[in-house]
Amino acid sequence: MTPAAPAYRRLSVEERRTQLLEAALSLFAHRAPEDVSLDDVAEAAGVSRPLVYRYFPGGKQQLYEAALRSAADELQQCFDEPREGPLLVRLSRALDRYLAFVDQHDAGFSALLQGGSVVETSRTTAIVDGVRRAAAEHILSHLGVTEPGLRLRMTVRMWITAVEAASLIWLDEGKQPPLDELRDWLVEQFVAVLTVTAARDPQTATLAQTLTSHI
């Protein structure tokens, strides 16, 4: 007897939208966005071009921005850590989630951070920068600082940029070193940059002293 074909299940609106976004993120990560057509996205998702337009009537620009926002929303949640326990332990847990996202969604992560595209606009730039600002706000909140000075703000933002760069290089290097080693290295770098800034900024010096006393 010939086995019965699996029953076809119509995707919900949200499921179909997610499918299209995942296909787009994968393509945008491996090719310049301007080199990706809606036909490419439709083929990758196994659907028709008109269906892609039905969900994204604004065409590729709308799809690109939606894909960026989808990845950005997930990344922002990585730093939403309960204010419990030592700061560096909390930072380690946040980095575990961040790096797990990079590991599991490397295509989406690469697509989120790549720039210089002809489809890049002030809106796409704002989406990417929103992730960095949200991460900085979470970290400053964990530090217990309500009014961070210029040097402290710059230090935190610089470290976040270093985390991004390290993550992209980690992908290029075949995901080496191991994630736990990379996480610990980034935490150590956080302490190091605070220590350097502490020599020039009393506010940061107080924070650095508190952190190092718990190591």
Could you tell me which residue, 179 or 110, shows the higher pLDDT? 179
- Is 55 exposed, middle or buried, given 0-12, 13-18 or 19+ CB atoms closer than 10 A? middle
11-23 mean pLDDT? 90
Residue 5 has pLDDT above 70, yes or no: no
The percent of residues in the chain predicted with pLDDT above 70, rounded, is 88
pLDDT at 214: 59
Contact criterion met (CB below 8 Å) for 208 and 198: yes
Residue % of the chain over a pLDDT of 90: 49
Quick one: average pLDDT of 52-79? Answer: 87
Residue 70 — very low, low, confident or very high, per pLDDT cuts 50/70/90?
Answer: confident
Average pLDDT in the 176-203 region?
A: 96
Mean pLDDT of the chain: 86
pLDDT class of 8 with cuts at 50, 70, 90: very low
Whether 120 has a pLDDT exceeding 70, the answer reads no
Distance CA(77)–CA(98), nearest Å, equals: 9
